[in-house]
Amino acid sequence: MHPFIHASSYPDKPACILASSNEVLTYGELEARANQAAHLLRSLGLKRGDTVAVVLGNDFEIFIAAWATQRIGLYITAVSTKTSVGDLAYVLENSEAKVLIAGKAYSDVAVQAASQIASSSMRIFGHAPGQVPFIQACEGFPTELISDPTAGSDMLYSSGMTGRPKGVKPQLPEGPIEAAIPLMLLGEALYGMGSASRYLSTSPLYHAAPLRWAMVIHRFGGTVVVMDRFDAEQSLELIERHRITHATFVPTHFVRMLKLDPEIRCKYDFSSLQAVIHAAAPCPVPVKHAMIDWWGPIIHEYYSGTETCGITALNSAQWLNKPGSVGRAVLGVVKIVGTDGEEVPAGIQGDVYFADGPRFEYHNDPEKTRQAYNQKGWATLNDIGWVDEEGYLFLTDRKSFMIISGGVNIYPQEIENHLITHPDVEDAAVIGAPDDEMGERVVAVLQLKAGVIGGDEFREQLRKFVRDALGGVKCPQQFDFRSELPREPTGKLMKRLLKAEYEAAHHTLKG
């Protein structure tokens, strides 16, 4: 199960379609270009276990680079297209990248970042003066599969909550490059993915889940329709036009689609959908109920991380029976651990760990790797939650997001999930801001719907809205309004930026 097999069987079948331009990359073309790229990288002396970094948008080039590295035993490190010069320089140095491939819009950043790192041997392909674009550099190399193919993998950087991102480095696969991988087996067993799948990719491909799921579809021989950026109505139009069978979204996408005018929501045909998958962030219970009511029981959810040390999953029927759950383990074994480091019984909250899952390490950071594992060898993604008697996992929040106000532990996820259901609220973030008396105070930072005025009267409405549902302890002491909240394109809320802003303001006031 690999593109080289599909290229031989049906070379003219679309492997990728760009939603913005309707351009098509066939399996025959993908295979030829990936082989040329593999030969190029080998000619530069790259060997099994080396790293290629890419700063590329949602287009064909990222797939050509990824499939090239996969067949010659390399790691691909995809970097955010919104990266700063400093962050890119850090990733390049930390990953020990031998090659950097930059798209046209990111070549200047690549040049500046490369100038900040000690290594002078890294080869850059880009569009800045003196550089050669990667695709152009591949021309003239053989289009046939290399004589000694070996499986590669990705080494992607987890954004983390504090400090620098961490490079998640799995072990390279052994065996033939066409061997099935765990995510492929899950895609087939849970979601019915196969050669007839037509998959809508809605998020940036530099993130773990979007890149990995798209490549799984290529392993099956299906077609990937790639959006360059998410748009609520366009996603509905693409589902109808391309007869999409599978798609991945994040809860923020659901919220935006649900808030479309009813006439627009009813305008498009989504009957081709077989499985819609969401992850990456908690989905408020009312939002998920609304999506199941709209699209039917085809909504699936899973919980994991870039580390992939374990996965839980559940379908619509299971979720309707266990609202708010993220499912039971399908990879690894869920363990809830108390403050004493021991496993706690069902129904008791604690740190979420996975036992018996795939091993990983944080590249060049043995201390962070050590902190991710406990004395029993179980790995954590630093979430807090509990399991019920049937083994269904319920997440409470990220451990680092917990607010301690007056000695009381408050988990903002529950408050955010309620606030987002208010008809005048477009987006919500709840954080702990420094407070001299309470240690931290609960602050809600909100993006309101167009035309809504966020004055004192509206703040009082929101206080009552939260207090009536969640009680006084969980009600924010402060409501602030923004035109937009800092979210990654995948929908993940970048709370660290908000917390840093409020901490800086507190220090300024303190003098």
Mean pLDDT of the 126-135 span:
94
Average predicted confidence (pLDDT) for the chain: 92
How do beta strands 24-26 and 75-78 pair? unpaired
Sign of the dihedral through C-alpha 320, 318, 208, 155: positive
Is 216 strand, coil or helix? Answer: helix
Query: Which of 404, 401, 411, 399 lies closest to 441, judged by CA?
Result: 404
Confidence class for position 406, pLDDT limits 50, 70, 90: low
Report how far residue 159's alpha carbon sits from residue 165's, in angstroms, rounded to the nearest whole number: 5
Report how far residue 151's alpha carbon sits from residue 178's, in angstroms, rounded to the nearest whole number: 8
Report how far residue 274's alpha carbon sits from residue 279's, in angstroms, rounded to the nearest whole number: 17
Report how far residue 275's alpha carbon sits from residue 272's, in angstroms, rounded to the nearest whole number: 9
CB 105 within 8 A of CB 81: yes
pLDDT digits (tens, 9 = 90+) for 34-53: 999 999 999 999 999 999 99
pTM of the model: 0.82
Amino acid at 312: T
Is 168 strand, coil or helix? Answer: strand
Is 139 strand, coil or helix? Answer: coil
pLDDT digits (tens, 9 = 90+) for 315-368: 999 999 999 999 999 999 999 999 899 999 999 999 999 999 998 999 988 998
Report how far residue 58's alpha carbon sits from residue 51's, in angstroms, rounded to the nearest whole number: 20
pLDDT digits (tens, 9 = 90+) for 451-491: 898 899 999 999 999 988 888 888 999 999 999 998 876 67
Q: List the beta bridge partners of residue 331.
A: 311
Query: Which of 467, 489, 487 lies closest to 476, judged by CA?
Result: 467
Report how far residue 6's alpha carbon sits from residue 200's, in angstroms, rounded to the nearest whole number: 20
- What structural domains and CATH numbers belong to the chain? 28-175 (3.40.50.980), 180-306 (3.40.50.980), 312-400 (2.30.38.10), 402-510 (3.30.300.30)
Give the pLDDT confidence score for residue 159 in this predicted structure: 61
Amino acid at 509: L
The neighbour count for residue 23, using CB atoms within 10 Å, is 13
